[in-house]
């Protein structure tokens, strides 16, 4: 059977499994060399969620806590395009996001940060990209929060994203950051990305064309997943 394989993972774009500045990576990253395998039908297929039924409010985190009330904080609109390395848009792909509230607290039992929870904010959202690969969420700008990685450690404001793309190998979980945040250069998770250009690709940009007058500021964050080799290989001999 002919299969069209995907480009290899670009390891220069990704953090190493273990990064000295990020304490909990040390015991949780594989130590042995990864075993290279040829992509087969198992790798070039993957979940597409074509039957998924999303509620419209899943893209509106300011009002999706099912309380009928609006979340506290600075409203923001986040838009972007999901594409592959050849800039081909990836339509109909599921994006899941999660984040802290405006005070820097997650709606999660493990988060014991002494900052207020917002009963009107769960911090979870989902959407599917449109035919042009575009997505849009309305949410609240997350707050910074402390963590125990080192003395006086604070995570910069960020939003987590999870994407699938068209195959098992295109899977990506990432997070993006907001321009001008002074905590970013101090953040070991951000700094785990080995190149400056790679770190830059985790930054959202302010988008005045997305900003809605007297309502909410706009930010743009484009996402690039692994692309597909142009030529089909006959089982890559």
Is 58 within 8 Å of 64 (Cβ atoms)? yes
Nearest residue (CB) to other proteins, 8 versus 119: 8
CA–CA distance, 113 with 135 (Å, rounded to integer): 31
Q: Is there a catalytic annotation at residue 113?
A: no
Nearest residue (CB) to other proteins, 186 versus 224: 224
CB of 121 to other proteins, least distance (A): 11
Nearest residue (CB) to other proteins, 72 versus 124: 124
Bridge partners, 127 (sequence order): 95
CB-CB neighbours of 13 under 10 Å: 15
- Give me the catalytic one of 105, 158, 226, 228: 158
- Give me the catalytic one of 18, 113, 136, 160: 160
How do 75-84 and 217-220 pair as beta strands?
parallel
CA–CA distance, 228 with 219 (Å, rounded to integer): 28
Nearest residue (CB) to other proteins, 8 versus 179: 8
SS3 198: helix
CB of 179 to other proteins, least distance (A): 16
Task: Output the six-digit token pair for 51.
Answer: 């039957």
CB of 213 to other proteins, least distance (A): 30
Nearest residue (CB) to other proteins, 38 versus 69: 38
CB of 214 to other proteins, least distance (A): 30
CB of 232 to other proteins, least distance (A): 11
Backbone angles phi, psi at 215, to 5 degrees: -140, -60
Q: Is there a catalytic annotation at residue 158?
A: yes
> Nearest-CA neighbor of 54 among 107, 83, 94?
94
- Give me the catalytic one of 6, 22, 145, 219: 145
Task: Output the six-digit token pair for 35.
Answer: 């075993």
Q: Is there a catalytic annotation at residue 215?
A: no
CA 91 to chain centre: 17
Q: Is there a catalytic annotation at residue 14?
A: no
- Give me the catalytic one of 22, 106, 135, 219: 106
Q: Is there a catalytic annotation at residue 160?
A: yes
Active site residues: 106, 145, 155, 158, 160
């Amino acid at each position: 059977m002919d299969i069209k394989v995907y480009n290899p993972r670009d390891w220069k774009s990704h953090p190493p499994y273990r990064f000295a500045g990020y304490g909990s990576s040390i015991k949780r990253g594989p130590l042995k060399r990864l075993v290279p395998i040829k992509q087969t039908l198992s790798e070039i297929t993957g979940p597409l969620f074509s039957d998924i039924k999303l509620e419209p409010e899943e893209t509106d985190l300011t009002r999706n806590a099912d309380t009928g009330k609006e979340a506290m904080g600075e409203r923001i609109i986040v838009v972007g395009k999901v594409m592959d390395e050849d800039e081909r848009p990836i339509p109909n792909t599921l994006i899941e996001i999660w984040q802290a509230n405006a005070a820097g607290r997650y709606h999660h039992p493990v988060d014991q940060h002494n900052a207020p929870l917002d009963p009107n904010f769960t911090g979870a959202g989902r959407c599917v990209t449109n035919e042009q690969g575009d997505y849009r969420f309305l949410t609240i700008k997350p707050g910074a929060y402390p963590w125990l990685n080192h003395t006086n450690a604070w995570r910069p404001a960020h939003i987590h994203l999870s994407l699938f793309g068209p195959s098992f190998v295109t899977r990506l979980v990432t997070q993006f950051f907001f321009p001008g945040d002074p905590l970013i250069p101090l953040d070991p998770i951000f700094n785990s990305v080995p190149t400056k250009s790679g770190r830059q690709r985790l930054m959202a940009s302010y988008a005045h064309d997305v900003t809605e007058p007297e309502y909410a500021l706009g930010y743009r964050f484009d996402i690039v997943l692994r692309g597909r080799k142009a030529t089909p290989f006959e089982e890559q001999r």
